[in-house]
Copies of this chain bind each other. A is one copy, B any other.
Amino acid sequence: MSEFIVYNTLTRRKEIFEPIHPPFVGLYVCGPTVYGDAHLGHARPAITFDLLFRYLRHIGYKVRYVRNITDVGHLENDADAGRDKVAARALLEQVEPMEVVQRYSDNYHHNMDQLNILKPSIEPRASGHIPEQQEMIAKILSEGFAYISNGSVYFDVEKYSISHHYGKLSGRILEDLQSATRDLDGQEEKRNPFDFALWKKALPEHIMRWNSPWSIGFPGWHLECSAMSTKYLGEEFDIHGGGMDLLFPHHECEIAQSRIANGKDSVRYWMHNNMITINGQKMGKSLGNGILLDQFFTGSHALLEKPYDPMTIRFFILQAHYRSTLDFSNEALQASEKGFARLMKSITMLPGLPTADKTTIDIGAWSSNCYQALNDDLNTPVLIAHLFDMSKQINLIADGRESITSEDIKILVQHFRQFAFDILGLIEDTQFSPDNQLLPKVMEMILQVRQDAKKNKDFALSDHIRNELGKIGIVVKDRKEGADWERK
């Protein structure tokens, strides 16, 4: 098999993936800030790095996948002023902030299960790692790259920039940042507007707070990822992922902090998924198009023509390459829905295909092409195109225009399921399937057919139906007003 190539945002090129300590791989991905329900913007990174996690394991690596939960410190704007998102939501809802955290974490997990996202190996919470963050702050202070101002601690970006390259991930230039930064409330504590908070002194009304050597307060948002990735993956690890919206300032700040605290660059490969638009527009609460995942699954949003199964959403996201932007529309989703059904249909048909003495299609070449697509920076649209190609071949076999041996059917079933289910993470028949709703309707209909048969004195048919249902495990009970059924 060819080598696995990934695009490294840091070097801006595709590189052969070589882990630091094979066969182990350390993977850290920025998870949700739990102050609201999950929307499409949460689904894309989750699916992208679930795919990466699945593929790394598939090709033999032992992966420790850490995906955090941000439950404190993520301010409403990224400029260290404004309010903590979780605490603000808690005030709004008049509850303890940890109740907000719990509710939205639970909802997030539920949505992730629906999308068939594997659980990460460790899912640490920012609020659960206050000592680790404080120790990292103390280290950065003692190295001279942070300063205390009015009880808060800020990272000294200007000093860092003398000896290090601040902006190497995002390509931002410090001078541009300086002039572009607006003056915001609370900014006067900083030496420079681009400095960022490691520790924020809590205002009296701030409800999430801890003691520290500097003030009663809370950690800055960027810090948690440095502290928790170091704790669970070590000072140097393989892959850090996240949405492109986190590239600056979040990941740029992580690089700077970790560099000073650990004395080395922590991350080998930075990977970022691109953004999602809806009907060509940027997604956002204020624009009224921030469609929640729950709304997709139930169809309860003005922009949606119908509900979409979680697998439709997953398949749709995988039909684009993770580094491309992706536009959601009803038309596109319905096309994905049909395409997904077509694929699943092929998988169902496969084992029952007519067999021959000779196989006329090239399964080996096809499988190798599929791997080539995955190895090329997880090129799922190309992989899915190959799967569709094979669907066509399967139809040709069914129609007798190509042929396959029974041995090769087994191989093809195994490969097809592997790509579709194990790696792409699609699921055939889900708990969300509408079958549960269909059975009572079908049974009602079939009992009506039987009732009609009885009326027409066709007792052979009515008995046949009752007997056949009995074999399946369904008991028919005749009553005055018709028939009823139950499971044995």
Distance between A476 CB and nearest chain B CB, rounded to angstroms: 12
Are A438 and B99 in touch, CB under 8 angstroms? no
A143 interface residue (CB < 8 Å to B): no
Beyond A98-B122, A99-B122, whether A135 also contacts B211 by CB under 8 A is yes
The stretch that binds B, out of A53-61, A371-379, A428-436, is A428-436
Residues of A90-125 whose CB lies within 8 A of B = 96, 98-99, 101-103, 106, 109, 119-125
CA distance A474 to B129 in the complex (A): 53
Residues of A451-480 whose CB lies within 8 A of B = 461, 464-465, 468-469, 472-474
Are A436 and B429 in touch, CB under 8 angstroms? yes
Chain A binding surface, main DSSP class: helix
Distance between A129 CB and nearest chain B CB, rounded to angstroms: 8
Beyond A131-B211, A211-B131, whether A439 also contacts B439 by CB under 8 A is yes
Interface string of A292-320 (1 = CB under 8 A from B): 00000000000000000000000000000
A203 interface residue (CB < 8 Å to B): no
A162 interface residue (CB < 8 Å to B): no
Distance between A196 CB and nearest chain B CB, rounded to angstroms: 23
Are A465 and B449 in touch, CB under 8 angstroms? yes
- The 8 Å CB contact of A472, one of B341, B441, B461, is B441
A176 interface residue (CB < 8 Å to B): no
Greatest chain B CB density within 10 A among A210, A434, A435, A464 is at A435
Are A119 and B106 in touch, CB under 8 angstroms? yes
Are A433 and B436 in touch, CB under 8 angstroms? yes
A268 interface residue (CB < 8 Å to B): no
Distance between A214 CB and nearest chain B CB, rounded to angstroms: 14
Interface string of A70-104 (1 = CB under 8 A from B): 00000000000000000000000000101101110
CA distance A210 to B341 in the complex (A): 52
A139 interface residue (CB < 8 Å to B): no
CA distance A345 to B443 in the complex (A): 16
Are B487 and A434 in touch, CB under 8 angstroms? yes
Are B436 and A436 in touch, CB under 8 angstroms? yes
- Closest partner residue, chain B, to A99 (CB atom): B121
Distance between A20 CB and nearest chain B CB, rounded to angstroms: 16
Distance between A443 CB and nearest chain B CB, rounded to angstroms: 7
- The 8 Å CB contact of A130, one of B131, B431, B442, B445, is B131
CB contacts (< 8 Å) of A130 on chain B: these are 130-131
CA distance A443 to B96 in the complex (A): 51
CB contacts (< 8 Å) of A446 on chain B: these are 442, 445-446, 449
A188 interface residue (CB < 8 Å to B): no
CA distance A473 to B131 in the complex (A): 57
Beyond A429-B436, A449-B464, A486-B345, whether A474 also contacts B442 by CB under 8 A is yes
CA distance A468 to B122 in the complex (A): 50
Are A128 and B131 in touch, CB under 8 angstroms? no
Are B473 and A438 in touch, CB under 8 angstroms? yes
Greatest chain B CB density within 10 A among A431, A433, A436, A486 is at A436
CA distance A466 to B128 in the complex (A): 59
Distance between A470 CB and nearest chain B CB, rounded to angstroms: 10
Are A341 and B486 in touch, CB under 8 angstroms? yes
Are A102 and B127 in touch, CB under 8 angstroms? no
CB contacts (< 8 Å) of A120 on chain B: these are 102
- Closest partner residue, chain B, to A102 (CB atom): B122
CB contacts (< 8 Å) of A438 on chain B: these are 439, 472-474, 487
CB contacts (< 8 Å) of A211 on chain B: these are 131, 135
CA distance A106 to B105 in the complex (A): 13
CA distance A445 to B448 in the complex (A): 15
CB contacts (< 8 Å) of A345 on chain B: these are 486
Distance between A114 CB and nearest chain B CB, rounded to angstroms: 12
CA distance A468 to B102 in the complex (A): 46
A17 interface residue (CB < 8 Å to B): no
CB contacts (< 8 Å) of A441 on chain B: these are 472
Are A442 and B461 in touch, CB under 8 angstroms? no
CA distance A439 to B429 in the complex (A): 12
A-B contacts besides A435-B439, A446-B449, 13 pairs, CB < 8 Å: A64-B99, A96-B122, A102-B119, A103-B121, A433-B436, A436-B436, A438-B473, A441-B472, A442-B442, A445-B446, A445-B465, A448-B468, A449-B449
Q: List 22 A-B contacts (CB under 8 A).
A: A96-B232, A98-B232, A99-B121, A99-B122, A102-B119, A102-B121, A102-B123, A125-B128, A131-B131, A135-B211, A435-B435, A435-B439, A436-B436, A438-B472, A438-B474, A439-B439, A441-B472, A442-B472, A445-B472, A446-B449, A449-B465, A449-B468
